[in-house]
Amino acid sequence: MTTVAPDQVGTALRFPQGFRWGAATASYQIEGATQEDGRTPSIWDTFARTPGKVFEGHTGDVACDHYHRYRDDVAMMAELGIGTYRFSIAWPRIKPDGSGPVNGRGLDFYDRLVDELLAKGIAPMATLYHWDLPQVLEDRGGWTNRDTAYYLADLAAATVARLGDRVATWTTLNEPWCSAFLGYAAGVHAPGREDPTAAFEAVHHLLLGHGLSVQALRAGGAREVSLTLNLARVRPDDPADPHDLAAVHLIEGLHNRLWLDPVLRGAYPADMLALFRRFGADHAIRPGDDAIIAAPIDFLGVNYYQPARVRAALGVDGGPANPGTEGAEYVAQDLPVTAMDWPVDPSSFYELLIRLSTDYPGTPMMITENGAAYDDVLVEDRVADTDRVGFLAGHLRAVHQAMAEGADVRGYLAWSLLDNYEWGYGYGKRFGIVHVDYDTQRRTLKDSARWYAAVIGRNGLD
């Protein structure tokens, strides 16, 4: 893969030859068929049925029915010129009891999907874990149980054995910050626990599972192995205030350094280890774990959606999803927002990519998710999602600028291909470049999809 700087002529931007363009999805968000072909419940099936946890009690039982409509969805990707499709493996389909025998019928689906992608000239990119832990494993402790890390590696071995001859690129985990802190500390994601000790235990076991899975994937012949993190660009409210800078360092510690340092530098940062000890989770860390977690990866997946601003404030903290951040407070920003109320500022994306390339030199990156939810309206077979086009264009220009200044970014995957089940928001938020009518399952290309197809076709923006 070339790392030549992208070209810029006037306002037109061109990316290097070989730059990967694609789109991403996740199994629970689109597949449906939650009770077919041997699949057992995941923690999200359970969480979605817990009163008050998900918008209007929505579940992923049907979602986008991709399990049955994948051929049409792949044909649509080919029409758009998508070259890489990132999907995730539903753990409860492959290992219905979490840790035992492989369910061949579950792997058959991904076999068919991969063959269909390759037939259309689309490179498959498989994510092992995008949050749908089998409920039977949560019943045994979930990510607070060290065994779960080894079960993930078993899943990796079984999946690469079946698909590795055709799937070149693999991701171990998607956004483990969300799994640990939203799922085990804040309780707003499955499994819905509110225990900071459990969250830090989950942090370590997720990272251990990543390292063990890298080993299993390599042993199975995987050509590219990666880890995808949702990283934060956190700015101080007052850049001249040392207290604000200290607050930023603390928040960035939980969002960035806690994950990046053990994978790319071989050890947890000292201040993050102090949080493990403070919350009584340091017992989870055993001799030799650091070396496993630091198994080399081929690139870092970067998911990015919004910036943050933080200031020092006595008596407050960053909230339940950020345990140990007393004295750090999030500050409202005077910026346009998406339908999620997330602020939009592409310059923060550029700053993050430059920061990563400076702090972790020699680390190739791929943008594995970037997108926005807006209140889309389907009118006469058209969704004029101008805001989304503006969001994507602004963030692609930020990527281009960072690459021109030395950031080694190898590709960009839009989130998401389809409107889908948006976790705790159910079907109330739409991120897709393709509109889905959930009653009829009819797909309609939004203006953003047609715009993105043109970007792919010219390998850049005009």
pLDDT of the residue at 3: 43
- What DSSP state is assigned to residue 294? T
Query: How many separate domains does the chain show?
Result: 1
For residue 324, being part of any structural domain is answered with yes
2 lies in some domain: no
pLDDT greater than 70 at residue 447: yes
Q: What is the mean pLDDT of the chain?
A: 97
Q: Of 31, 116, 175, 201, which residue is the catalytic one? A: 175
Q: Kindly name the residue from 31, 116, 138, 369 that is annotated as catalytic.
A: 369
Mention every residue, 6+ apart, whose C-beta is less than 8 A from residue 341: none
| Overall average pLDDT of the 42-67 stretch | 98
Contacts of 3 (CB under 8 A, 6+ apart): 16, 364, 408, 410
Q: Left (φ > 0), alpha (ψ -120 to 50) or beta: where does 122 sit?
A: beta
Mean pLDDT of all residues in 250-263:
98
Is 171 inside a domain boundary?
Answer: yes
1 belongs to a structural domain: no
Asked whether the beta carbons of 262 and 276 are under 8 A apart, the reply is no
Please give the average per-residue pLDDT across 421-446, as a whole number. Answer: 98
pLDDT of residue 119 exceeding 50: yes
The answer to whether residue 30 sits within a structural domain is yes
Confidence of residue 8 (pLDDT cuts 50, 70, 90): low
The mean pLDDT value for 120-143 works out to: 98
**Residue 59 within a domain:** yes
369 catalytic? Reply is yes
pLDDT tens per residue across span 271-286: 999 999 999 999 999 9
Give CA–CA dist 260/336, Å, rounded. Answer: 30
pLDDT-derived band of residue 1, with 50, 70 and 90 as boundaries?
Answer: very low
- Compute the distance between CA of residue 136 and CA of residue 82 in angstroms, rounded to an integer: 36
Q: Is residue 247 over pLDDT 80?
A: yes
Give the domain extent around 154: 7-461
Read off the CATH number of the domain in which 41 is found.
Answer: 3.20.20.80
Q: Count CB neighbours of 6 within 10 A.
A: 18
Residue 11 has pLDDT above 80, yes or no: no
* Cα distances (Å, whole numbers) of residue 146 to 41, 109, 202, 208, 370: 21, 29, 9, 8, 32
Whether residue 120 lies inside any domain: the answer is yes
Q: What is the pLDDT of residues 169-224, one digit of tens each?
A: 999 999 999 999 999 999 999 999 999 999 999 999 999 999 999 999 999 999 99
Residue 149 is assigned to a structural domain of this protein: yes
Q: Residue 365: pLDDT above 50?
A: yes
**How high is the pLDDT of residue 7?**
67
In the prediction, which pLDDT does 9 show?
45
The whole-number pLDDT of residue 2 equals 35
Active site residue 405: no
**Encoding tokens for residue 282?**
């340091």
Q: How far is CA 333 from the centre of its chain?
A: 24
